[in-house]
Amino acid sequence: MHHYFRVFAATSAAAIISSLAFSLSTSTPSVAREIVTFSGEQPGTIIVRTNQRRLYLILGDGRAISYPVGVGRPGKQWTGTSFVNGKYRNPAWSPPAEVRRDKPSLPDVIPGGSARNPMGVAALTLAQGEYAIHGTNAPGSIGGFVSYGCIRMHNRDIADLFNRVDVGTRVVVTR
């Protein structure tokens, strides 16, 4: 199953500035981003390993930044190669049809910055327009099989990744 969603870029300068702020507070090692050994991929590539619930940004020289993520729940995961086709700070969110069927009380659009917005402080949309790598306002979901196919990150981590990648970045999702 494929899921389409729409994100809307924030136009307010205050929203952009507030989305840049993120905590550098200490985290437990199991949920912290870290530099790890990783080889076999081109620098700048994003690799998501859903079974590990980790996203890797390849740095080169045998290194990568490893971030904890939440991934698709059973029956909602996907694998394949895509690329980042959009970058949005503080995006609004419109629930896709499948989410709306499961949660009919959701509004048509949840504004960016709202505590009810599942996109968090930033989103990287992927080429087919069906999925995104995005932040979350539910940090307890990171590390789980929790989404309809999108890749969720802590807000501080999507802010970090957002600043490191460009539109066109290759994304490979594997089990």
Kindly list the catalytic residues.
134, 150
- What type of residue sits at position 35? I
d(CA 35, CA 110): 35
CB 132 within 8 A of CB 123: yes
Instruction: Using DSSP bridges, classify how beta strands 63-72 and 54-60 pair: parallel, antiparallel or unpaired.
Output: antiparallel
DSSP letter at 94 equals E
Closest among 29, 28, 30, 10 to 20, alpha carbons compared:
10
Contacts 24+ apart (CB under 8 A), 99-105: 99/3, 99/148
Q: Rounded CA gap, 109 and 130, in Å?
A: 17
Backbone angles phi, psi at 64, to 5 degrees: -150, 155
